[in-house]
A and B are shown apart, each in its own frame.
Chain A
Amino acid sequence: MATLPGEALRLEAGPVLSHVAIRPARGWTGLELAELWQYRELLFFLVWRDIKVRYKQTALGAAWAILQPVFSMVVFSLFFGRLAKVPSDGVPYPVFSYCALLPWQLFAYALAESSNSVVANERLITKIYFPRLVIPIAAVLAGLVDFALAFSVLIGLMLYYGIVPTWTIATLPLFVLLAILTALAVGLWLSALNVQYRDVRYTVGFLTQIWLFLSPVAYPSSLVPERWRPLYGLNPMAGVVEGFRWALVGKTPPPGAMLVVSVMMVLLLLVGGLFYFRRMENIFADVI
């Protein structure tokens, strides 16, 4: 290459693309994960923006992240634990439900944010190029801060009830990852659909509500007959929630076959979602 006067100014920075080939969109395309990796700094900044704005704009700020699951836990403990006498696998009901509410809130928040993420970032999408996958991924990751804050309450709760975690707690990050991936998998489908069909937005709240009762948050999955449990695992959140309880308290039965089904379900949804999103992103800028 010829040396330019501006050569010295050219930087190591940013995504260096020596050759860009622009071709018409042709159906299914590859995932271009290498390019996604090049844009990791943008991903970081979008996550950082979402977190920063979230805590700046709300009056209660960080308190929201704690209040939501704590209030849910209190209500669940009162109505399901105390009044309806829902069994809790021998764990104090507040701990039992809070262990489940943690991943549930992470999932519900990440799902809501990611479903709306592409439409919410319309201006970015119509004005600048970057791998569009960055948007829903950033939306999902931003939920982790709330999760970390809410987690601190659990530590207090476990101390109060004198529950000491066993070695199983080492597996917890895997379940956090699974919760995130579940939200991303579904979020990818919904965010891409939302661009074309804006009524998707209204279905997310409803979907989350139904999904909560289909997941073992307020009740243990042991209520489901043993042989049906793998089928129950088709709801990936069943595996996530039971996995959380098992990892944190260690007394509940390991999720086993149900978890295997959940993981496979998530992978299926995720890979499908990634390809579907990539296919749909060709028309984002035109339709949004």
Chain B
Amino acid sequence: MSDLVIRCEGIAKQYRLGERESYRALRDTLADAVTAPLRRLRAALHSANRRPSNGSATIWALKDVSLEIRQGEVVGIIGRNGAGKSTLLKILSRITKPSRGSADIYGRVGSLLEVGTGFHPELTGRENVFLNGAILGMSKAEVARKFDEIVAFAELEKFIDTPVKRYSSGMYMRLAFAVAAHLDPEIMLVDEVLAVGDVQFQKKCLGKMGEVSKQGRTVLFVSHSLSSIQSLCRRGILLEEGAIVCDGAVDAAIDRYLAKQPAAEFVAQPDARKPSITRAIAECSPSGVITVEMSFCSPFPLSPPVFGATITDAGGVIVYGTNTRFEYNDGVPLSMQSGEVRLVIDGEPLRSGTYHLSLWLADHFHDYVELANVLTVEVGRGIAEPLRPPRAAIGSVGLNTRWECYSRETSADLEPRAVGVGD
């Protein structure tokens, strides 16, 4: 009898570049079929020392990942975009198969790579709860039994028979998460699902997840929110370029992750199939005004486009976050397909130091791009604060503060003592 619940041995996943971005048209394949013999002939006629061109390049999203997870462990997986976190979770969830290696999972798996998967806007809240429950692997009887609890958790009793297309995005997310939170698997695989929703609800969800882990369940948790990883997990795994570089105590993994400074500018190739952020840059003025500029493009209009940004301090704590979904902003048009976006944050309350910025691009229902800690800004560098205590002790934000003191001592009480001292 072993309490091992997940064992991965040498998991590797190869993607053909281009395969991911665009499907082929049948005519291309037909054209290839016609021209391939010719090309091969030509290649054969050419000198043999040339490498055979097999069309598309490949990329290893995961390289030889081996790990063992025991019953009841709560493991956080961290790493930058493209480090292979989501690919690992997708393989363990059986959404895609590994190219090499094997994994064995013992127990009923519930995977949550997205909340609200399969939600249909035309259906009512009630209908979506049942549909989503079935998609997540719950039986009809199970959903029926938990239905009231789910609705109460989402705080949507009054709107449960309204089509979800009339929900605000916050309501939508609450309902979606409420269903997911009532999943009762032995092993839970959770991808970044808390990135959206209001802060209060996020807290509630984290609380629920904490509860889940206390019940002896095994949880594998991918998140960009280092503070939630820190508070939920005891073990941390850091992935870098598809390989595990650190597997141990969660604090060690986070330290290692933060030690690697990301660039001050981010540049990426546009994706033909989905919206992408192609460039982002951030800077901070001496007075503490942080300006973030990003360019994005999308193959379809985003109606409305939703932009988000969070500021994380060097300790991995999110000090501020904003997005145009839950904070209405009349600077954002109703529909936009590509362009430049500028975000100006008055960062004056931030204490000087290094901060990381994460950026989001989404529309009303779906998150498309999530760049965790892609940019780094130095706030207030050069301003001397010789007597300031370490930030770890007093936090990253300086708020307008005033101390008021009302002494209970009378001047008579103080007088003799002062005199005494003087003596």
Instruction: Name the residue on B nearest A38 (C-beta).
Output: B137
Q: Flag if A4 contacts B97 (CB, 8 Å).
A: no
Q: Flag if A22 contacts B94 (CB, 8 Å).
A: yes
List B residues 1-50 near A (Cβ within 8 Å). 1, 3, 15, 19-20, 23-27, 29
Q: How far is the CB of B121 from chain A (nearest CB, A)?
A: 9
Measured in the bound complex, the distance between the Cα atoms of B363 and A37 in whole Å is 37
Q: Flag if B109 contacts A127 (CB, 8 Å).
A: no
Chain B, residues 126-151, CB within 8 Å of chain A (1/0): the string is 01001100111111111000000000
A197 within 8 A of B: yes
Tell which of A2, A42, A285 touches B90, judged by Cβ atoms closer than 8 Å.
Answer: A285
Q: Flag if B23 contacts A197 (CB, 8 Å).
A: yes
Assuming the A-B contacts A42-B134, A126-B95, are A20 and B117 also in contact, with contact meaning beta carbons closer than 8 angstroms in the complex?
no
B329 within 8 A of A: no
B111 within 8 A of A: yes
* Cβ contacts under 8 Å, B108 to chain A: 10, 14-18
Q: Flag if A52 contacts B127 (CB, 8 Å).
A: yes
* Cβ contacts under 8 Å, A287 to chain B: 19-20, 23
Q: Flag if B105 contacts A20 (CB, 8 Å).
A: yes
Tell which of A5, A19, A199 touches B26, judged by Cβ atoms closer than 8 Å.
Answer: A199
Chain B, residues 95-110, CB within 8 Å of chain A (1/0): the string is 1111111111111110
Measured in the bound complex, the distance between the Cα atoms of B184 and A286 in whole Å is 28
Measured in the bound complex, the distance between the Cα atoms of B107 and A17 in whole Å is 6
B80 within 8 A of A: no
- Total number of A residues with any Cβ neighbor in B under 8 Å: 53
A90 within 8 A of B: no
* Cβ contacts under 8 Å, A197 to chain B: 23-26, 29
B370 within 8 A of A: no
Q: Flag if B134 contacts A52 (CB, 8 Å).
A: no
Q: Flag if A24 contacts B101 (CB, 8 Å).
A: yes
Tell which of B72, B90, B104, B111 touches A21, judged by Cβ atoms closer than 8 Å.
Answer: B104
* Cβ contacts under 8 Å, B1 to chain A: 1-2
* Cβ contacts under 8 Å, B214 to chain A: 5
* Cβ contacts under 8 Å, A82 to chain B: none
Q: Flag if A2 contacts B3 (CB, 8 Å).
A: yes
* Cβ contacts under 8 Å, A125 to chain B: 95
Q: How far is the CB of B276 from chain A (nearest CB, A)?
A: 17
Tell which of B93, B99, B123, B216 touches A129, judged by Cβ atoms closer than 8 Å.
Answer: B93
Instruction: Name the residue on B nearest A43 (C-beta).
Output: B134
* Cβ contacts under 8 Å, A199 to chain B: 25-27
A49 within 8 A of B: yes
Tell which of B20, B23, B107, B138 touches A14, judged by Cβ atoms closer than 8 Å.
Answer: B138
Q: How far is the CB of A196 from chain B (nearest CB, A)?
A: 6
B92 within 8 A of A: yes
Instruction: Name the residue on B nearest A200 (C-beta).
Output: B26
* Cβ contacts under 8 Å, A227 to chain B: none
Q: Flag if B142 contacts A14 (CB, 8 Å).
A: yes
A-B contact count (CB 8 A): 158
* Cβ contacts under 8 Å, B140 to chain A: 41, 44-45
Interface size class of B (residues with CB under 8 A): 35 or more
B279 within 8 A of A: no
Measured in the bound complex, the distance between the Cα atoms of B324 and A254 in whole Å is 67
Q: Flag if B139 contacts A41 (CB, 8 Å).
A: yes
* Cβ contacts under 8 Å, B102 to chain A: 21-24
Chain A, residues 1-41, CB within 8 Å of chain B (1/0): the string is 11011100111111111111111110000000000000001
Instruction: Name the residue on A nearest B184 (C-beta).
Output: A9
Assuming the A-B contacts A5-B216, A197-B25, A198-B25, are A13 and B97 also in contact, with contact meaning beta carbons closer than 8 angstroms in the complex?
no
* Cβ contacts under 8 Å, A198 to chain B: 23, 25
Q: Flag if B94 contacts A20 (CB, 8 Å).
A: yes
Q: Flag if A13 contacts B95 (CB, 8 Å).
A: no
Q: Flag if B131 contacts A23 (CB, 8 Å).
A: no
Q: How far is the CB of B30 from chain A (nearest CB, A)?
A: 10
Q: How far is the CB of B58 from chain A (nearest CB, A)?
A: 12
Chain B, residues 172-188, CB within 8 Å of chain A (1/0): the string is 00000000000010100
Q: How far is the CB of A284 from chain B (nearest CB, A)?
A: 8
Q: Flag if A42 contacts B27 (CB, 8 Å).
A: no
A282 within 8 A of B: yes
Measured in the bound complex, the distance between the Cα atoms of B135 and A44 in whole Å is 11
Assuming the A-B contacts A24-B99, A128-B135, are A49 and B120 also in contact, with contact meaning beta carbons closer than 8 angstroms in the complex?
yes
B113 within 8 A of A: yes
Assuming the A-B contacts A24-B101, A199-B26, are A15 and B137 also in contact, with contact meaning beta carbons closer than 8 angstroms in the complex?
yes
A217 within 8 A of B: no
Q: Flag if B71 contacts A2 (CB, 8 Å).
A: yes
B264 within 8 A of A: no
Q: How far is the CB of A246 from chain B (nearest CB, A)?
A: 38
Measured in the bound complex, the distance between the Cα atoms of B24 and A193 in whole Å is 11
List B residues 149-201 near A (Cβ within 8 Å). 184, 186
Q: Flag if A128 contacts B117 (CB, 8 Å).
A: yes
Q: Flag if B134 contacts A19 (CB, 8 Å).
A: no
Q: How far is the CB of A135 from chain B (nearest CB, A)?
A: 11
* Cβ contacts under 8 Å, A9 to chain B: 184, 215
Instruction: Name the residue on B nearest A9 (C-beta).
Output: B184
> Which of B15, B95, B141 has the most A CB atoms < 10 Å from its CB?
B95
Instruction: Name the residue on B nearest A17 (C-beta).
Output: B108
Assuming the A-B contacts A17-B109, A19-B105, A286-B20, are A128 and B136 also in contact, with contact meaning beta carbons closer than 8 angstroms in the complex?
yes
Q: Flag if B216 contacts A13 (CB, 8 Å).
A: no
Measured in the bound complex, the distance between the Cα atoms of B142 and A124 in whole Å is 21
* Cβ contacts under 8 Å, A23 to chain B: 97-98, 102
Q: Which residues of A contact B (CB under 8 A)?
A: 1-2, 4-6, 9-25, 41-42, 44-46, 48-49, 52-53, 56-57, 123-130, 193, 195-200, 282, 285-288
Beyond A1-B1, A127-B114, A128-B135, 15 additional contacts (C-beta under 8 Å) are A2-B71, A4-B216, A9-B184, A11-B184, A14-B138, A20-B106, A20-B109, A22-B94, A22-B97, A23-B97, A24-B100, A45-B135, A56-B123, A193-B26, A197-B23
Q: Which residues of B contact A (CB under 8 A)?
A: 1, 3, 15, 19-20, 23-27, 29, 71-72, 90-109, 111, 113-114, 117-118, 120, 122-123, 127, 130-131, 134-142, 184, 186, 214-217
Q: What are some 10 contacts across the A-B interface (CB < 8 A)? A: A13-B184, A22-B92, A23-B98, A52-B123, A53-B120, A127-B114, A128-B136, A129-B94, A287-B23, A288-B23
Instruction: For the complex of A and B, list the 7 residue pairs with the smallest distance between their C-beta atoms, beginning with the closest.
Output: A6-B215, A13-B139, A197-B26, A4-B216, A13-B142, A22-B103, A45-B134
